Structure 1
Amino acid sequence: MAYNRPNPDDRSDNVEKLQDMVQNTIANIEEAHETMQFSSPEEREKIEAKNKRREEAITAMRAEIKDEAAAREHGYQQ
């Protein structure tokens, strides 16, 4: 029986991927703000709640970017 081996941990481009994710999330927030003017009050409430979660995610991603950048600077430990 053949066993699947996990892929090695390649963190070399994590900072760039996270930065792209932050930019995409910011764009989604901006789009949501634009659509709010055409939304019902109930939809506006949902959009506001989702944007709040997006902002929290951005904060977490930025913290992870700092961690990944520090790890890159100090050499990755596997």
Structure 2
Amino acid sequence: MPNHNKSKPDDRSDNVEKIQSTIQNTIKNMEEAEESMANADSPQQQEEIKAKNERRRQSIQGMREEASDEARDQ
């Protein structure tokens, strides 16, 4: 009986590009969220947007460090 559960080889050759793309998408989302704050219904909604963008900033920093590590390892 053949084994159909073979894993694919770990191809990390394009990880830096994928991370950079994710960073760009996250930045775009942050910009869109900033624009939407002008139309926020309440101060609470504005605070939620600010908090989410702060989490995005932290994620971007982590992704940049990861991209740097990946580039160094290639």
TM normalised by structure 1 equals 0.87
Q: Structure 2: which 5+ residue stretches go unaligned?
A: none
Which residue of structure 2 aligns with residue 56 of structure 1?
58
| Stretches of 4+ aligned residues off by more than 3 angstroms | none
Aligned: 1:47 with 2:49: yes
1:22-61 alpha-carbon deviations (Å, 9 max, x no partner): 0000000000000001102111011011001100000000
Which residue of structure 1 aligns with residue 20 of structure 2?
19
How many residues of Structure 1 are paired with residues of Structure 2 in the alignment? 72
SS at match of 2:7: coil
CA RMSD of aligned residues (A): 1.0
Which residue of structure 1 aligns with residue 72 of structure 2?
70
> How big is the shift at 1:3?
4.8
Q: Structure 1: which 5+ residue stretches go unaligned?
A: 73-78
